[in-house]
Amino acid sequence: MDANEKRVHPRKDVFSAAMLVAGEDGYLSEVWDISQGGARLGRPKHWPTQMPELIRVFFMLDQDTVISLAARVARTGGEHLGVQFVEGQEERIHHLMYEARFLDAETT
């Protein structure tokens, strides 16, 4: 880990599909990396300019493994969104991190 890294949780690079749900609207996206605290996602093409406070992220790790988590949008960039997982979902986050470790094995 880089000595200048200020993140509390180390990131794991992954690439998988995701569905972001804000209110009644859904947006397809991709996952670029995840950690115990949140994730970096591709910014959907038609993402609302009025950013929702809370969203639900469906991590589609494979055809049979979809894990959903409540999150807050912590930052936006031109091509990405940074989300922070809402507290109280530790078991689901642990399950996501466990399942995500198999993504590397499938691509090598």
pLDDT in tens, 21-38: 999 999 999 999 999 999
30-68: pLDDT as tens digits: 999 999 999 999 999 999 888 788 999 999 999 899 999
pLDDT bucket at 12, cuts 50 / 70 / 90: confident
Q: What is the separation, in whole angstroms, between the first and last Cα of the chain? A: 23
pTM of the model: 0.84
Say whether pLDDT at 106 is over 60: no
Q: What is the DSSP letter of 104?
A: H
- Listed by start position, the domains of the chain span 12-107
pLDDT bucket at 7, cuts 50 / 70 / 90: low
The Cα diameter of the chain in Å comes to 42
Q: Which CATH architecture describes the domain 12-107? A: Beta Barrel (2.40)
d(CA 9, CA 36): 6
| C-alpha closest to that of 7 among 34, 46, 45 | 34
